[in-house]
Amino acid sequence: MKKVVFSVTKAGKNSNRVSGVGYVTDEDLLIPMISKNGKAYIRVFEDCIKHCHQIPGETDEFKGTFYEIREIEFETKNDAGYEKREIEISYYIWYKLAD
């Protein structure tokens, strides 16, 4: 595991950005997060490192786009119950290896 300084931006209408210090493995980006109710956890972006490439002219900086498929459940308008759909979420990832 290598220590990195990172920035992850969720693309779309409800975009948000998270940055700080995290870790990368050969395949994953691991970042510390705090949930809405105040509990700490580790957010893992699985298999995202293979989508990142080195920034030209820089030795330790990488960036890329990562897509995640999530299944969501929502209530239908006709009160017929719940329906499930798969949505795609895009993330822009940048990280720099720290010493």
Identify the pLDDT of residue 60.
92
CB 45 within 8 A of CB 28: yes
Q: For every one of its 99 residues, what pLDDT tens digit does the chain have, with 9 covering 90 and above?
A: 999 999 999 998 888 899 999 999 999 999 999 999 999 999 999 998 898 999 999 989 999 999 989 898 887 777 677 888 898 999 999 999 997
Identify the pLDDT of residue 97.
93
Phi, psi of 49 (to 5 degrees): -65, -30
Positive/negative CA dihedral, 3, 24, 93, 69:
negative
Identify the pLDDT of residue 96.
95
Identify the pLDDT of residue 81.
79
Helix, strand, coil percent content, the chain, rounded in steps of 5: 5, 65, 30
